[in-house]
Amino acid sequence: HRQTAPRMMPGSARRNLDPELSEPMQSIDPTIALEGVHVVPDVPVRPVTRRNAADRVFRTTVTSAGALTLVLMALIGLFLLVKSWDALRVSGLSFLTTAQWEPNGGVFGIAAVLLGTVLISFVALGFAVPVAIIGSIFITDYAPARMRTPLIWLVDLLAAVPSLIYGLWGRSFLQPKVIPLSDWISNHLGFIPIFQADRAVGFAASTFIAGIVVALMVLPICTAVMREVFSQAPAGEKEGALALGG
């Protein structure tokens, strides 16, 4: 004889047979259930990082190098301030507003140099920032995988070149090449105030050429920093921006 497994009866039939099951279940009051229970508040826990000897040596070396750099910069600024204090005390605030430079006559200031520095900086940023943005986006999102790594190495290598090398290269090689371009811009776009030039002075030491050289100096650094920022952007945010038409 085969044994037949007992059938499970429907819930309604079991409630009819067992009167205790027909009674509704009573709800439990949470205040009564938690009575006498001590609730521990959430306390943030800081992870404990255990560094080995090599990590500690590296961390100490890097921190010391950074602190030493700041100390050297502070000492250089203090040295310049001490050595120029007599002149600054005589000239006062006119040191920033006087364009003449006649130390023997007691009249000197950096207004002309300060204005030229600001103009050169604007020209350099106008050239460097758009090119750096386009280059960093291309390296991060559009360059093929085989080309991406060599481009990153090239940008980082150019960013490590001293600024003096760029200045000497711009004076010896780039300046003769750009003077005809400056002359053409002055002839055809001279009606725009920013392109007006005094031909008696010449274009050899113009703000335009100096701005291009400074743009070449800062372009690798700007590209390297922007590429690093773009590479750290989450893919979801990028896809969302593309979906919105960005």
Closest to 141 in 3D by CA, of 238, 241, 15: 238
**Cα–Cα distance, 54 to 60 (Å, whole number):** 10
Per-residue model confidence (pLDDT) at position 55: 86
SS3 (DSSP) at 101: strand
- Supply the pLDDT for residue 21: 46
pTM of the model: 0.62
Pairing of β 101-102 and β 107-108: antiparallel
Q: Residue 217 half-sphere exposure, CB side, CA atoms within 13 Å?
A: 21
For each of the chain's 246 residues, which pLDDT tens digit applies?
444 544 554 544 444 444 444 455 555 555 555 555 566 667 777 776 777 888 889 999 999 999 999 999 999 999 999 988 888 887 777 878 887 777 777 777 888 788 888 888 898 899 899 999 999 989 988 888 888 889 889 888 888 888 888 878 887 888 778 777 777 777 777 676 666 666 655 566 677 888 888 888 888 889 989 988 888 888 888 888 888 875
3-state SS record for 153-185 = HHHHHHHCCCHHHHHHHHHHHHHHHHHHHHHHH
Could you tell me the two tokens for 120? 């050169």
Element (H, E) at 199: none
The pLDDT value recorded for residue 60 is 92
CA dist 146 and 229 (Å) reads 21
- Give the pLDDT of residue 214: 87
Strand partners, 107: 102
How many angstroms separate the CA atoms of 107 and 168, rounded? Answer: 32
Q: What pLDDT does 54 receive?
A: 86
pLDDT for residue 64: 95
CA distance 235 to 237: 5
* Residue 27: predicted pLDDT: 57
pLDDT for 205: 64
| Alpha helical stretches, state H, 84-174 | 85-91, 94-97, 111-137, 145-159, 163-169
Phi/psi class of residue 36: alpha, beta or left (left: φ > 0; alpha: ψ in -120 to 50)?
A: left
Name residues whose C-beta falls within 8 Å of residue 207's C-beta, 6 or more positions apart in sequence.
116, 119, 120, 123
User: pLDDT at position 91, please?
Assistant: 78
pLDDT of residue 5: 47
> Distances in Å between the alpha carbon of 147 and those of 137, 139, 159, 222?
14, 8, 19, 20
Backbone φ, ψ for residue 130 (5° rounding): -60, -40
Distance, in Å, from the CA atom of 20 to the CA atom of 60, rounded to the nearest integer, reads 74
3-state helix, strand, coil in the chain (%, to 5): 70, 0, 30
